[in-house]
Amino acid sequence: MSTSVVAPAPALRIGSLALDVPVVLAPMAGITNTAFRRLCREYGAGLYVSEMITARALVERTPETMRLITHHPSEKTRSIQLYGVDAPTVYKAVKILSEEGLADHVDLNFGCPVPKVTRKGGGSALPWKLDLFQDIVESAVRGAGDLPVTVKMRKGIDADHLTYLDAGRIAEAAGASAVALHGRTASEFYSGQADWSAIARLKEAVTSIPVLGNGDIWSGEDGPRMMRETGADGVVVGRGCLGRPWLFGDLAAAFTGSEERHRPRLALVAQAFRRHAELLSEFFESEERGCRDIRKHVAWYFKGYPVGSEIRSALALVSSLAEVDELVERLGDAPYPTEGAEGQRGRAGSPKRVVLPENWLNSRELEGDQRERLTEGAGDTSGG
């Protein structure tokens, strides 16, 4: 008599996607390109989302956008985050991804807090307009066909203009496959502590699709803790993995009950840094450009380690892999610095007034010529 092996149930299901670990890499502009996503995958598991892509640029098929949405063959689940303020354009962009087989998952950005986006009514400003938000989510779902569409958002514009509960319910009714909440308002930017209680409230309000929590996942232990405290179905990781791609391995271990964690010595951190530079050079098809890009990662990788200012400065000026090799050879080795390498990293900023279109807060619906004046904020923007 033969016996069949039953595959374990997925830790998280987002539409047709089954994830072994309930962990998602948050889109971060200039960070979560193919090179970084590949590096994180080498250490752990989960869903790895692209940098934010503007819907209009995708519809217009600008060369840089088409390059950014191209995934490496090793990326088996191709996840793309889109940003747009015009429902017909978002529909066309998602339809391109779906019909041309360019993605397996589409995430919609409603979390970006930077002024050049919010002043145009986009990012975290957009859910204030309930009709516009609903139009965009419904249009994306309609254009996606069988692709799962998810929504990433913040609590709202500020403490007096919260949007996340309304937006969560609308997204659920519109056919989204999951919603993710960063537990800060746009005005908080990345300052202070993320409000995990808001994630719990969203989970109570949205009951038929997964709710994911984002904000202050700094260690492997933080992932299961967030899910216990909020009831969330999964976690979204942003700044915590900067210079620490092995955080995804730590999260995977924590979710399976293992106490094994990456506590890398300096030599192993140097190897990861060098690997990242190599992957960036491949991504940009230019060793010089790849090495220019790795410069911004220096402080994140070597946070807490005994690396002198002279070598740090030299690493921040590298222009070739040979230079990287020569400098990391000089680093030697040192044990893991425990607390010195852990905790918050990346920009935090301070609370600030959110820049919005004129009269934006007067009504929860678009008024007058507001729709005609909406344009996509261009340039380097955050995933929120």
Give alpha helix (H) positions in 285-317.
Answer: 287-294, 298-301, 309-315
Indicate the Cα dihedral angle 68, 74, 78, 82, nearest 10°. Answer: -20
Supply the pLDDT for residue 129.
97
pLDDT number for residue 379 = 45
* Average pLDDT of span 122-143: 97
Catalytic residue among 40, 112, 241, 291: 112
Q: Between 378 and 77, name the one with better pLDDT.
A: 77
Angle of helix 321-331 versus helix 266-284 axis, rounded to 10: 170
Q: How large a percentage of the chain has pLDDT more than 70?
A: 95
Q: Which residues of 70-79 are buried (b: 16+ CB within 10 A; e: fewer)?
A: ebeeebebbb
pLDDT at 377 over 70: no
Say whether pLDDT at 378 is over 70: no
Rounded Cα distance between 232 and 197, Å, is: 11
Residue 134 annotated as lining a ligand binding site: no
23 strand-pairing partners: 235
The answer to whether 238 is annotated as binding is: yes
Please give the single-letter amino acid code of residue 346. Answer: G
148 is in an annotated binding site: no
Supply the pLDDT for residue 156: 98
**Which amino acid, 45?**
A
Hey, is 368 helix, strand or coil?
A: coil
CB-based contacts of 59: which residues, under 8 Å, 6+ apart? 89, 92, 93, 96
Question: What would the pLDDT profile of 156-166 be if each residue is shown by its tens digit?
Answer: 999 999 999 99
Does the pLDDT of residue 383 top 80, yes or no?
no
pLDDT value at residue 9: 65
The proportion of the chain whose per-residue pLDDT surpasses 90, expressed as a percent, equals 88
* 29 labeled part of a ligand binding site: yes
For the purposes of burial, counting CB atoms within 10 Å of the CB of 281, is it exposed (0-12), middle (13-18) or buried (19 or more)?
buried
pLDDT digits (tens, 9 = 90+) for 365-374: 998 888 877 8
Q: In the chain, which ranges are E strands?
A: 12-14, 17-19, 23-25, 47-54, 79-83, 105-110, 149-154, 156-158, 161-162, 178-182, 211-214, 234-237
pLDDT surpassing 60 at residue 1: no
Output the six-digit token pair for 127: 């859910």
**pTM of structure:** 0.93
Q: What is the mean pLDDT of residues 341-366?
A: 87
117-121, 177-181, 189-193, 372-376 — most confident range: 177-181
Give the whole-angstrom CA distance, residue 12 versus residue 41: 17
Task: Consult the annotation and say whether 239 binds a ligand.
Answer: yes
Residue 112 annotated as catalytic = yes
**pLDDT classification of 376: cutoffs 50, 70, 90:** low
CATH for 12-261 is 3.20.20.70
Question: Does the annotation place 213 within a ligand binding site?
Answer: no
pLDDT above 60 for 299: yes
Q: What sign results for the dihedral spanned by CA atoms 277, 281, 284, 289? A: positive
The reported pLDDT for the residue numbered 8 is 58
